[in-house]
Each structure stands twice: as C-alpha cells, then as structure tokens.
Amino acid sequence: MSYHESIDRGNFYFGFMQKKFLTNLGLLLFLNLLIKPVWIFGIDLTVQRTVGVSDYGFYFVILNFSFLFNILLDLGITNFNNRNIAQNNHLLNKHFSGILVVKFMLGVLYLVTAFIVALILGYSGPQLRMLAWLALNQFLLSFILYLRSNISGFLMFKTESMLSVLDRLLMILFCGTLLYTHVADSPFRIEWFVYSQTAAYSVTAIIAFFIVVKKARFRKLNWNLPFFLMIMKQSFPFALLVLLMTFYNRLDPVMLESLLPEKLGNEQAGIYASGFRLLDAVNMIAYLFSVLLVPIFSKMIKNKQPLEQIVKLSFTLIITLAVMVSVCSFFYGAEIIDLLYDAHIADSTRVFRMLILGFVAVSSTYIFGTLLTANGNLKQLNYIAVGGLVINFVLNFLLIPRFMASGSALSSMITQFTMAIAQVILAQRIFRFHVNYRFLTTLILFITGVILLNVVSRYLVFPWPFLPSHLTWLGNFTLMIVASVVLAFILRLWSFGALIKIVSDHNR
C-alpha cells in the first residue's frame, strides 16, 4: 500500500469512527439528559429532603462503604472484557459461560468480605441490614455493567444507550410511586429507596442477560479452572486500577464518619453528599464519553489507526462542557444549593463549589485514562492511582478534623487535578501527540471568557418579569450559559457545519 493510500484509508477510518462516536454520543446524551435529571432532581433529591440530612448521611456512608469492596465483584473483568470483545468479537461465545460462573463466585466473596470488615468496624443491626441490601444492589449493578460491556464491545451503541437509562427509568417509576402517591400509609423511609433500586436493577439485569445470551448463543454454565486462571491473570491489572480509583473516589465520606464523632460524622457525610450528588449528576456526561471511547479506542489501536484526531475531538467536546458546568456552578453555587436544599446551605455550598471544580479534572481523565486503558498501559495507570490514593488519604486525615466536609471536598479536588495532570503527561509521552499551541491558546481564551461572562452576569440587572423575585438569578444564569455556548462556536471549539455534515452522512 502506498503512502497516500495509507493516509486516505486512515482519514476514511477516522471519519467513520468520528461519525459513530458523535451520533451515538448524541443518542446517549439525549436519553440520559431526558431520564437522569428526573431521577436526580425528582427522586434522589426529594428522598434526601424527605428523610433528612442525618438519615441520608447514614445511607450515604454505608453506600460508599459498599463501594470500597466493589472490585471483588469484578476483579477488572468488565474493563478487560470491553476492550477484549471490541478487538475480538468471536470470543464472546467462548468466554461468556465461564465468566458468568466467575461473576457469581465473586459475588459470594464480595458479600463475605464486606460483612467481615463491617463487623470488625463495629457495624450494628441497622447498618448491617442496610449493607445487605446495598451489597445485593452492587452485585446486580456489576452484573449489568459486565453484560453491557459485551454489548458495547460489539459496537451495539443504540442497545447500550437504552440499557444505560433503563434502571433509572424503572427507579423513577418504583420510587416515584412511593414518594408521590398514597400507596404506603407511613412516611417515606430510606429503606424504600434502596428496595426500589434493587427491583430496578433486577429487571434491567434480566433484560440485558437475554440480549447477551442471544448474541453469545449461550447454552449452559461451564466451570473451567484454566480459563478462570487465565481471566484472573489478564484482568488483574484492571482490577487493581479500579480498586485504587474506587478508594480515592469513595474514601471521603467513610473517613468523615470515621474521624468525627458518630452523630457529627453522619451529619457531615450528609452535607458532603449534598454537593457530591450534584457532581455525580454531571459526571454522567463524562462517563458516557468513556462508554463509547473504550471500544472505539481499542479497535483503532488494534487496527493501528491514527488516534490524535479522535482524541482531540472527544477532549474538545468534553472539556468545553466541563468548563461551562464547573465555572457556572461555582459562581452560582449558593443559589443552586439554596434552590435544592432546605438546611446547611452555607456548608453545602462550600463543599459543592470545590467538588464541581474537580469536574474539569474528572472529565479529562475520562478521555486520557480511557485511552491509556485501551492501550494496555495499566501498570503506569496503577502507579498514578496509588499516588492519588496516598494524596487523598493524607489530605483527608489532615483536613477533616479541622474543616470537616469542606476539608474532604478540598482533598477530593486536589486529588482529581493531580490525577488528570499525571494522565495527560503520560498519554503525551506514550503517544507523542503533536502539541497544538493554537488549540491550547483557544482553550485558555475560552476558559477566560467563560469566567468573565460569569462575573459580568452577577452584576447585570434585568427585570425577568416571568420569574419570581427569588429566582431572577435563573435568568442571568441561563443568559450566561447561552453566551458561553456562543463563545464556544465563535472560537470554533464547536462547529455547526461539522455536526450537520456528520448527522446528514449518518442518515444516508
């Protein structure tokens, strides 16, 4: 093949992957923005306000405790499987039966380990009962994610998109019935929230299971010790990475509860949850990028296709969104928290502002961390994650006794930015991407512009007659968001022409 033919083929392949990425990202975003805000603000937030900060803090601590052992449910199998099936579709039929047996065995191991550690830490009856249900939910969620990794590995993104919102749609139905109707005679309890999740995850797991069974032509379970050892060996680096990332992302509320007196610890964990839940809501946008990019990056790396353009495209899209969300939420943090919550407004605002700034860093890791994972650079990523865990633990240990939830939020923000910078540097060294100074200058101009727009919007006085007096800030906020989007197009970070062309080509 000649040099020019190779270039033409590379451009064609990039164009194909770009269209697949953008059109399916659009579908994913549409479905998730349609369903998940209803879940977050109509259900999850209402539950927080209904049961109170202390009860929700109790649930939030146990939830994050259950996350700490989540790696035992998977041992990196899902991440390994997503990359492996994307590169070798024919292996689904061979691997599916054996991995199913492994997943159920790991479920038992997870449950036993979580309860042993909980008993060592002195967890009592109510805590253990809550942990039992949350542990079941973690198993179901892990099982769903494994099943979805097979579906996305086949680049069946439309089916994957539907499954990504199905559990939340069912939760809205189940939990909404309990919250907003008179089906139950007694006041809403936090346990009902957990039961609704269990029912929704169960239905979603069953549907996803039958989709994958049909694709894999599954007949029966098959235990094979050599296969088990092979899977464990190949997935171990993924497992270690997930374990380390889980610890430095989920350690904060557990340390709040451990380092502070019990009642104060639950209260501060509830305050932290107020800010974290909003970060978790916007994190879904960044996570959707990684869902699409793992199989796309993996396939392109296997086919030795150039990656620089698709990395730049995905990074540009996510970083502009992240900057707008983070900066706008920082400047209007007090108003947002006051609109959503009834208590601890000042404390929750401080936590929220620090956590939401970390969204810029988290968004970057969803691109560069995903790229490095697809390329198999697990050893380097694990070293970085160890550093993140140490930084997070030390900062929490030093800051929580003095600043409580705010100290934990500051610890999280510093950790996230450290991880993002380290991953960007590592990706640059491995892939030797061209340093595009024009793009970096444009990005700096955009960030500066968004900050200035927010500053100006705080001093603008408009009547906004259609808004009540206590919500007039929403008018300024909306105007500033629109101006930030316009700025992205003016600086050509986004392009109407390119998006229209991709959509029109996709529909042919």
Question: Can you give the pTM of this predicted structure?
Answer: 0.69
- How much is the mean pLDDT over the chain? 79
**Residue 353 binned pLDDT confidence (cut-offs 50, 70, 90):** very high
Q: For residue 344, give the 3-state DSSP assignment.
A: coil
Q: Does the structure show a pLDDT above 90 at 124? A: no
Determine the pLDDT at residue 3. Answer: 39
pLDDT at 284 over 70: yes
Choosing from 223, 258, 282, the residue where a domain stops is 223
* DSSP 3-state of 332: coil
- Give 276 or 15, the one with higher predicted confidence: 276
Cα→Cα distances 358→234, 255, 370, 481, 501, Å: 32, 19, 18, 19, 34
Residue range 25-69, pLDDT digits in tens: 666 667 767 777 787 778 887 888 888 777 887 888 888 888 777
pLDDT band at 344 (very low <50, low <70, confident <90, very high): confident
Task: Assign 263 a pLDDT band (cuts: 50, 70, 90).
Answer: confident
pLDDT of 46 reads: 84
Q: Per the domain annotation, does 60 fall within a domain?
A: no
Q: 88-105, pLDDT tens digit by residue?
A: 655 566 666 667 777 888
Q: Check residue 201 and give its pLDDT.
A: 92
Q: What gap in Å lies between CA 487 and CA 446, rounded to an integer?
A: 7
- From the list 493, 406, 477, 403, the residue with the least C-alpha distance to 444 is 493
Within 10 angstroms of residue 394's Cβ, the number of other Cβ atoms is 12
Question: Which runs of consecutive H residues, i.e. helices, occur in 154-261?
Answer: 157-180, 190-216, 225-259
At which of 194, 223, 252 does a domain end?
Answer: 223
From residue 164, alpha-carbon distances to 50, 129, 167, 204 in Å are 27, 28, 7, 9
* Angle at alpha carbon of residue 160, lines to 158 and 161, rounded to 5°: 65
pLDDT at residue number 217 = 66
- pLDDT tens track for 185-194: 778 888 888 9
Residue at 449 is within a domain:
yes
Q: What is the pLDDT of residue 87?
A: 63
- Least confident interval from 24-28, 242-246, 288-292: 24-28
pLDDT for residue 314 is more than 80? yes
One DSSP character per residue, 31-57 reads HHHHHHHIIIIIIIHHHHHHH-HHHHH
Q: 129 vs 463, which has greater pLDDT?
A: 129
Pure H helices in 88-156: 91-120, 125-153
**Both tokens of residue 26?**
């659009």
Say if residue 135's pLDDT is above 80: yes
Residue 312 domain flag: no
For residue 403, being part of any structural domain is answered with no
Q: Give a yes or no: residue 31 inside a domain.
A: no
The domain total for the chain is 2
- 126 versus 164: the higher-pLDDT residue is 126
Instruction: Give the pLDDT mean for 270-286.
Output: 79
385 occurs within a structural domain: no
Which residues neighbour 183 within 8 Å (Cβ) at sequence distance 6 or greater?
177
Asked if 166 contacts 151 with a C-beta cutoff of 8 angstroms, the reply is: no
108/362 Cα distance (integer angstroms)? 32
- Among residues 223, 245, 279, the one where a domain terminates is 223
Domain hosting residue 454, numbered range: 440-508
- Separation of CA 456 from chain center: 32
- 462 inside domain: yes
CA distances from 180 to 175, 177, 292, 460 (A): 9, 6, 36, 38
pLDDT in tens, 355-411: 999 999 988 988 898 888 888 788 888 889 889 889 988 998 999 888 888 999 999
Q: Are 216 and 96 in contact (CB under 8 A)?
A: yes
Whether 414 is in a domain gets the answer no
Is pLDDT larger for residue 92 or for residue 416? 416
Burial class (CB in 10 A: 0-12, 13-18, 19+), 236: middle
